[in-house]
């Protein structure tokens, strides 16, 4: 792997130092040997040429058989001498005429020459001379013999003898008598020259032998040189073979080392969980690993050659910008860099936060950049989550502070009314005035209760504890009911309150209780913030959805305020300025409930002109039930026969109030201060009804009720009604499970108790639905004539 | 040429004298016993089994002649030879195989296989440089090869075969 090449070199440096050195030395030695070999080859080629030349010389001999030719000269010389001698003999035999001739003839001792007649002997003599002449001619003319015969050491003997022989020619060619006369002289002269000739030929022969010796030695020395050069060449070639082998071994070893290192790096490269990009000097991607392909969701083939800016971006103040290869190289100019936070843009458009570490390296002379990219989206997500939870905790802290501030303020206000009125009552004896003070106390107490109920509501809603129960109900009746309940307050504010819009909506399917709560909140708000104006309620049916518009001509609010009006514990300036009481929770609760029912509330408003709240809900039309329980809904003064009542309550004040309340209606009340006392009382006496507080010392309401139900006493099946400050569906269910028949939320109101007692079998009746908030709302709104008159 | 200029004219002069002598002796001398003149004297005696054929110069000149020029190792300068191609000569006498023995005046004798003669090879030269050859100038006949034409003719065997002063041929 090229990019790690530099570091790898240093890693394996100690290991490869020795082989490298020996490799260099080996190459040097090889070069020397190659030089020697080349030199040897040159020498051998030269020597081969030489040998070839010598062989050519030997092959096509320019020379005759020289020794033979020289020897022939002497032979022919001797033959001429011989012929001369014979001729002289023939002359002698002819001189004694017949005697000699005759005697010689038969008495010839075998030699032909001796019987030869003179003319024949002379002819033979001449022939021999001619032959010798030709021989001298040949030897004298042919340059071949010059070196031997005319060598300075010979001192010109050859030419002298030749001249002398040639000088005999006129004599030989002369007449027979003249030649016959000169035979003796000829013989003497020939005899005189013979030793010289002999010596001359011996020397020439020596000369020739020396010549051929020299030639042979020449060839020998050339061959010796050739053999020596061949030996050196052989040695050099052998050394080269050995050296080559060792070099090959070293190279093989280095190759193996590199292969192992490369495989190791390749494994790291491909199994890394971090993406690795390699960039060339132009910032183009030249290689990636599998992790990169996964991170960028792009196949490695497609990413090769792309500029790095396609994948990596930087989020700055002016948006996201592509990273340039130049910038990366510049950053790495002084060394490796780590911890760059960038944005990786995946092929499918996703953006993931990454951390980049990089370094530049050298690959085959060109700089490359190795970028290791780590996906830090988990880390970033964890950071964000941490930050979010911190923010949330801070917000909760602020909300708590705000809650306490608002609650404290909103509680003090009615408490001020209550305590002030009580002080006045205590010092005033006028019964008429006392009644007015009582009204103030009750109003203030109701406000307090409202506050408590709101807080409870918001807690439940935010806890996701809102149960929506859908059932058919008459929307027209519900709207009329709300308008009727708000009418007194509207009149008190000099407002007109009316329903507008076309036609009746009829029966619909929905949660009437929740809708009533929401709509009542909107209408009462409208009434509260409007004076000398008008409030209208307009239902609009739109398919399965229903829009109910609540308009007012009140003080209105700005757009910014309209945005905050649904937040919890928000009280707008307008409300505070106009001394309008409230907890700042009403609209928040209304919107939460509307959303829980699958709808929403929106507001449009203008300061000084009024507001329009639009409640939209899914309220499909429904058919009315066959037998509407109309009579039950009519609340009226209830006459209850006196009953025996067991009151189990640990709080003395509450006990006192409840006892007085019940006794005033003619009931007989037995008190118990805790659950155990209650169980004991129930075991002794039979009661018509048992009112049971829930939270008590010693034994709580759950246990007590269960004990009464389980015990053998006379009240095993007596109706047990829980009185509790704990409200909520969950508590109600638990109480039911413990054997209690009904649940009444504190504070206990005379009206509620009366209705409870008047309806002894009303397990399925309205009392069943006396879940605190709604029922509590009812009386608040119904401060009007009917209840008040009966209260009085 | 190591031949000294002082000596070189001598053989030439002698040559002329020798020729003059020969001519004189031919003219002046009494007829030899066999009555042959120099021209008529038999140059070559061919022994073909029992048959003996003699050739004089005229008889040789009547045959188709071959001429070439070549240097030899025994002479100086380029020599022009005229003679009878050896293969022709052998064919004329129906000699197709075996060995021929050639014998010189000094009884130097060589034997050459008949099939070693080539048509471009040896001739029986009777003229050198336009003149008949005497015994003194390697005559009367010289078996010469065209030495310059091929290295084949420059071996020691060929040199040995180049017999001069040839006067007898015996076919075996």
| ipTM rounded to 2 decimals | 0.74
Mean pLDDT of A376-401: 90
Same domain, A436 and A490: no
Could you tell me whether strands A742-745 and A719-724 are parallel, antiparallel, or unpaired per DSSP bridges? Answer: parallel
Residue A387 has pLDDT above 90, yes or no: yes
Q: What is the pLDDT of residues A667-713, one digit of tens each?
A: 899 999 888 899 998 888 889 899 998 888 888 888 888 888 888 88
Residue A309 has pLDDT above 80, yes or no: yes
| Selection from A698, A689, A702, A767 nearest residue A739 by Cα | A702
Q: What is the pLDDT of residues A582-630, one digit of tens each?
A: 666 778 888 888 888 889 999 998 888 889 999 999 988 888 876 544 4
Same domain, A367 and A432: no
Burial class (CB in 10 A: 0-12, 13-18, 19+), A612: middle
* Global pTM exceeds 0.90: no
Residue A166 sits at the chain B interface (C-beta within 8 Å): yes
Distance of CA A448 to the CA centre of its chain: 62
Asked if residue B138 is part of any domain, the answer here is yes
More confident residue, A76 or A318: A76
**What span, in angstroms and rounded, lies between the C-alpha atoms of A77 and A132?**
6
Residue A212 sits at the chain B interface (C-beta within 8 Å): no
Mapping DSSP onto H, E and C, the string for A414-433 reads: HHHHHHHHHHHHHHCCCHHH
Is-contact A791 A468, C-beta < 8 A?
no
Asked if residue A347 is part of any domain, the answer here is yes
- Provide the residue range defining the domain that includes B163: 39-171
Is-contact A569 A582, C-beta < 8 A?
no
Mean pLDDT lowest for which of A125-134, A298-307, A384-393? A298-307
Q: What is the pLDDT of residues A160-197, one digit of tens each?
A: 889 988 988 888 888 888 888 888 888 898 898 899 88
Gyration radius of chain B over CA positions: 17
Q: How confident is the model at residue B36 (pLDDT cuts 50, 70, 90)?
A: very low
Same domain, A506 and A604: yes
Asked if residue B45 is part of any domain, the answer here is yes
Mean pLDDT of A4-19: 45
Asked if residue A244 is part of any domain, the answer here is no
- Residue B2 is nearest to which of A64, A146, A170, comparing CB atoms? A146
Same domain, A444 and A480: no
pLDDT, position A743: 85
Q: How far is B136 from chain A (nearest CA, A)?
A: 4
**What span, in angstroms and rounded, lies between the C-alpha atoms of A696 and A674?**
6
Same domain, A509 and A587: yes
**What span, in angstroms and rounded, lies between the C-alpha atoms of A749 and A625?**
32
Mean pLDDT of A248-261: 92
Asked if residue A623 is part of any domain, the answer here is no
Residue A131 sits at the chain B interface (C-beta within 8 Å): yes
Q: How many domains does chain B have?
A: 1
- Asked if the bond preceding A664 is cis, omega within 30° of 0, the reply is no
Mapping DSSP onto H, E and C, the string for A464-506 reads: CCCCCCCEEEEHHHHHHHHHHHHHHHHHHCCCEEEECCCCCCC
Residue A21 has pLDDT above 70, yes or no: no
Same domain, A613 and A652: no
pLDDT, position A184: 87
Same domain, A686 and A583: no
- Residue B3 is nearest to which of A140, A163, A166, comparing CB atoms? A140
Is residue A163 helix, strand or coil? helix
Cβ <8 Å between B7 and A166: no
Q: How confident is the model at residue A102 (pLDDT cuts 50, 70, 90)?
A: very low
| Selection from B41, B39, B25, B105 nearest residue A170 by Cα | B25
More confident residue, A560 or A111: A560
Asked if residue B32 is part of any domain, the answer here is no
Q: What is the pLDDT of residues A544-571, one digit of tens each?
A: 888 999 999 988 888 888 888 887 666 6
pLDDT, position A105: 41
Q: How confident is the model at residue A470 (pLDDT cuts 50, 70, 90)?
A: confident
- Chain B residue closest to A176 (CA)? B29
Q: Residue A327 sits in a domain of what CATH number?
A: 3.30.450.20
Contacts of A76 in chain B (CB under 8 A): 106
| Selection from A123, A158, A139, A169 nearest residue B138 by Cα | A139
Asked if residue A632 is part of any domain, the answer here is no
Same domain, A370 and A397: no
Is-contact A675 A709, C-beta < 8 A?
no
Q: How confident is the model at residue A417 (pLDDT cuts 50, 70, 90)?
A: confident
Structural domain ending residue among the three candidates A457, A487, A514:
A457
**What span, in angstroms and rounded, lies between the C-alpha atoms of A38 and A59?**
31
Q: How confident is the model at residue A578 (pLDDT cuts 50, 70, 90)?
A: low
Q: How confident is the model at residue A767 (pLDDT cuts 50, 70, 90)?
A: very low
Q: What percent of the residues of chain B are helix, what percent strand, and what percent coil, each to the nearest 5? A: 30, 30, 40
Contacts of B76 in chain A (CB under 8 A): 141-143
Contacts of residue B151, defined as CB under 8 A and 6 or more positions apart, other chains included, come to A60
- Provide the residue range defining the domain that includes A315: 272-375
Mean pLDDT lowest for which of A111-115, A160-164, A784-788? A784-788
Cβ <8 Å between B106 and A76: yes
Residue A781 has pLDDT above 90, yes or no: no
pLDDT, position A95: 64
Cβ <8 Å between B73 and A159: no
Q: Which phi and psi angles does A750 have, rounded to 5°? A: -55, -40
Q: How far is A99 from chain B (nearest CA, A)?
A: 24
Q: How confident is the model at residue B103 (pLDDT cuts 50, 70, 90)?
A: very high
Same domain, A494 and A371: no
Structural domain ending residue among the three candidates A398, A427, A457:
A457
Structural domain ending residue among the three candidates A311, A346, A375:
A375
Contacts 24+ apart (CB under 8 A), A580-584: A580/A528, A580/A529, A581/A410, A581/A413, A581/A414, A581/A447, A582/A410, A582/A528, A583/A406, A583/A407, A583/A410, A583/A450, A583/A451, A583/A454, A583/A455, A584/A406
- Residue A142 is nearest to which of B7, B73, B135, comparing CB atoms? B73
- Chain B residue closest to A156 (CA)? B4
Asked if residue A564 is part of any domain, the answer here is yes
pLDDT, position A112: 45
Q: How many domains does chain A have?
A: 5
Q: Residue B158 sits in a domain of what CATH number?
A: 3.90.420.10
Asked if residue A630 is part of any domain, the answer here is no
Contacts of A142 in chain B (CB under 8 A): 73-76
Same domain, A399 and A485: no
Give the percent of chain A with pLDDT over 90: 9
Is residue A731 helix, strand or coil? helix
Contacts of B10 in chain A (CB under 8 A): 163, 166
Same domain, A278 and A412: no
Asked if residue B22 is part of any domain, the answer here is no
Q: How far is B160 from chain A (nearest CA, A)?
A: 7
Cβ <8 Å between B11 and A130: no
| Selection from A565, A538, A553 nearest residue A606 by Cα | A553
Residue A305 has pLDDT above 90, yes or no: no
Q: How far is B43 from chain A (nearest CA, A)?
A: 14
Cβ <8 Å between B7 and A131: no
pLDDT, position A62: 58
Q: How many CB pairs under 8 A join A and B?
A: 92
- Residue A134 is nearest to which of B4, B138, B156, comparing CB atoms? B138
Q: What angle do the packed helices A176-271 and A13-59 form, to 10 degrees?
A: 160
Residue B44 has pLDDT above 50, yes or no: yes
Cβ <8 Å between B21 and A147: no
- Residue B14 is nearest to which of A131, A138, A169, comparing CB atoms? A169
Q: How far is B8 from chain A (nearest CA, A)?
A: 9
Contacts of A117 in chain B (CB under 8 A): none
More confident residue, A779 or A342: A342
Asked if residue B107 is part of any domain, the answer here is yes
**What span, in angstroms and rounded, lies between the C-alpha atoms of B86 and A707?**
167
Cβ <8 Å between A170 and B21: yes
Residue B23 has pLDDT above 90, yes or no: no
Same domain, A144 and A202: yes
Asked if residue B145 is part of any domain, the answer here is yes
Residue A790 has pLDDT above 60, yes or no: no
Is-contact A490 A527, C-beta < 8 A?
yes
Q: How confident is the model at residue A207 (pLDDT cuts 50, 70, 90)?
A: confident
Q: How far is B99 from chain A (nearest CA, A)?
A: 22
Cβ <8 Å between A133 and B21: no
Q: Of A85-94, A127-136, A460-469, give the range with the top mean pLDDT.
A: A127-136
Asked if residue A21 is part of any domain, the answer here is no
Task: Provide the phi-psi class of A293: left if phi over 0, else alpha when psi is between -120 and 50, else beta.
Answer: alpha
Residue A150 sits at the chain B interface (C-beta within 8 Å): yes
Residue A293 sits at the chain B interface (C-beta within 8 Å): no
Mean pLDDT of B10-15: 54
The sheet that has A719-724: what strands, in order across it?
A668-672, A644-648, A689-693, A719-724, A742-745
Residue A163 sits at the chain B interface (C-beta within 8 Å): yes
Residue A261 has pLDDT above 90, yes or no: yes
| Selection from A500, A790, A662 nearest residue A782 by Cα | A790
Q: How confident is the model at residue A366 (pLDDT cuts 50, 70, 90)?
A: confident
Q: Residue A654 sits in a domain of what CATH number?
A: 3.40.50.2300
pLDDT, position A341: 86
Q: How confident is the model at residue A788 (pLDDT cuts 50, 70, 90)?
A: very low
**What span, in angstroms and rounded, lies between the C-alpha atoms of A722 and B108?**
173
Average pLDDT, chain A: 80
Contacts of residue B58, defined as CB under 8 A and 6 or more positions apart, other chains included, come to B39, B40
Residue owning tokens 């807080």: A455
Asked if residue A259 is part of any domain, the answer here is no
Mean pLDDT lowest for which of A184-193, A382-391, A534-543, A624-633? A624-633
């Amino acid at each position: 792997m090229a990019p790690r090449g530099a570091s790898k070199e240093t890693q394996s440096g100690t290991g490869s130092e020795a082989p490298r050195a020996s490799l260099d030395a080996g190459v040097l030695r090889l070069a020397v040997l190659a030089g020697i070999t080349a030199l040897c080859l040159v020498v051998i080629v030269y020597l081969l040429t030489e040998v070839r030349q010598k062989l050519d010389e030997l092959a096509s001999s320019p020379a005759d058989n020289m020794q033979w030719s020289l020897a022939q000269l002497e032979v022919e010389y001797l033959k001429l001498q011989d012929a001369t001698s014979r001729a002289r003999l023939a002359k002698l035999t002819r001189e004694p005429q017949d005697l000699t001739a005759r005697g010689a003839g038969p008495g010839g001792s075998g030699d032909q020459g001796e019987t030869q007649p003179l003319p024949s002997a002379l002819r033979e003599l001449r022939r021999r001379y001619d032959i010798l002449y030709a021989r001298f001619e040949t030897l004298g003319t042919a340059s071949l013999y010059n070196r031997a015969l005319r060598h300075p050491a010979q001192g010109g003997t050859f030419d002298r003898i030749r001249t002398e022989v040639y000088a005999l020619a006129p004599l030989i060619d002369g007449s027979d008598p003249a030649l016959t006369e000169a035979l003796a002289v000829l013989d003497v002269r020939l005899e005189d020259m013979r030793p010289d000739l002999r010596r001359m030929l011996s020397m020439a022969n020596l000369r020739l032998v020396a010549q051929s010796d020299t030639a042979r030695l020449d060839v020998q020395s050339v061959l010796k040189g050739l053999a020596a050069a061949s030996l050196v060449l052989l040695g050099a070639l052998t050394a080269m073979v050995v050296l080559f082998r060792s070099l090959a071994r070293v190279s093989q070893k280095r190759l193996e080392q590199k292969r192992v290192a490369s495989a190791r790096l390749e494994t790291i490269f491909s199994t890394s969980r971090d993406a690795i990009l390699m960039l060339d000097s132009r910032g183009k991607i030249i290689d990636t690993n599998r992790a990169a392909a996964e991170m960028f969701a792009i196949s490695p083939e497609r990413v090769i050659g792309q500029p790095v800016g396609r994948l990596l971006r930087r989020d700055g103040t002016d948006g996201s910008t592509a990273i340039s290869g130049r910038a990366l190289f510049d950053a790495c100019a002084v060394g490796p860099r780590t911890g760059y936070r960038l944005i990786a843009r995946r092929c499918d458009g996703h953006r993931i936060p990454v951390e980049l570490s990089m370094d530049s390296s050298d690959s085959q002379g060109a700089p490359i950049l190795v970028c290791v990219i780590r996906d830090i989206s988990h880390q970033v997500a964890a950071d964000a989550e941490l930050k979010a939870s911190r923010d949330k905790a801070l917000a909760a802290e602020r909300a708590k502070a705000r809650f306490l501030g608002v609650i404290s303020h909103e509680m003090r206000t009615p408490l001020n009314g209550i305590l002030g009125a009580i002080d006045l009552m205590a010092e005033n004896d006028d019964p008429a005035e006392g009644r007015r003070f009582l009204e103030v106390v009750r109003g203030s107490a109701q406000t307090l209760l409202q506050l408590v109920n709101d807080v409870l509501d918001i807690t439940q809603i935010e806890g996701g504890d809102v149960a929506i129960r859908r059932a058919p109900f008459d929307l027209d009746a519900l709207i009329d009911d709300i308008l009727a309940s708000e009418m007194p307050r509207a009149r008190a504010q000099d407002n007109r309150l009316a329903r507008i819009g076309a036609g009746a909506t009829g029966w619909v399917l929905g949660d009437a209780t929740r809708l009533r709560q929401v709509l009542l909140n909107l209408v009462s708000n409208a009434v509260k913030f409007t004076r000398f104006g008008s409030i209208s309620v307009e239902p609009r049916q739109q398919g399965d959805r229903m829009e109910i518009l609540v308009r007012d001509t009140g003080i209105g609010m700005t757009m910014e305020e309209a945005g905050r009006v649904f937040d919890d514990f928000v009280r707008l300036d307008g409300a505070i300025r106009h001394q309008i009481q409230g907890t700042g929770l009403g609209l928040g609760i209304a919107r939460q409930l509307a959303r829980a029912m699958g709808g929403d509330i929106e507001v449009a408003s203008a300061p000084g002109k009024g507001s329009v709240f639009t409640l939209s809900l899914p309220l499909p039309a429904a058919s009315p039930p066959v037998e509407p329980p109309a009579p039950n809904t009519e609340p009226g003064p209830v006459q209850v026969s006196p009953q025996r009542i067991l009151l189990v309550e640990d709080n003395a004040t509450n006990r006192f109030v409840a006892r007085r309340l019940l006794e005033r209606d003619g009931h007989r009340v037995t008190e118990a201060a805790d659950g155990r006392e209650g169980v004991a009382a129930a075991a002794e006496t039979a009661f018509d009804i048992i009112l049971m507080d829930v939270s008590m010392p010693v034994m709580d309401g759950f246990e007590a009720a269960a004990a009464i139900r389980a015990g053998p006493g006379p009240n095993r099946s007596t109706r047990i009604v829980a009185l509790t400050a704990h409200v909520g569906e969950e508590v109600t269910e638990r109480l039911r499970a413990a054997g209690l028949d009904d649940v009444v939320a504190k504070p206990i109101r005379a009206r509620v108790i009366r209705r409870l007692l008047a309806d002894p079998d009303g397990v399925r009746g309205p009392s069943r639905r006396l879940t605190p908030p709604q029922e509590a709302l009812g009386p608040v709104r119904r401060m009007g004539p009917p209840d008040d008159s009966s209260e009085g | 040429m190591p031949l000294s200029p002082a000596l070189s004219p001598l053989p030439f002069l002698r040559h002329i004298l020798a020729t003059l002598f020969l001519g004189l002796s031919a003219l002046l001398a009494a007829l030899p016993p066999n009555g042959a003149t120099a021209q008529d004297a038999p140059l070559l005696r061919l022994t073909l089994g029992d048959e003996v054929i003699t050739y004089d110069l005229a008889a040789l000149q009547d045959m188709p002649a071959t001429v070439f020029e070549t240097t030899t190792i025994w002479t100086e300068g380029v020599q022009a030879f005229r003679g009878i191609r050896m293969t022709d000569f052998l064919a004329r006498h129906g000699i197709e195989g075996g060995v021929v023995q050639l014998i010189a005046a000094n009884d130097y004798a060589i034997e050459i296989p008949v099939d070693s003669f080539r048509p471009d090879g040896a001739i029986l030269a009777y003229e050198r440089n336009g003149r008949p050859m005497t015994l003194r100038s390697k005559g009367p006949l010289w078996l010469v090869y065209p030495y310059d034409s091929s290295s084949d003719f420059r071996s020691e065997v060929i040199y040995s075969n180049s017999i001069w002063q040839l006067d007898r041929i015996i076919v075996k």
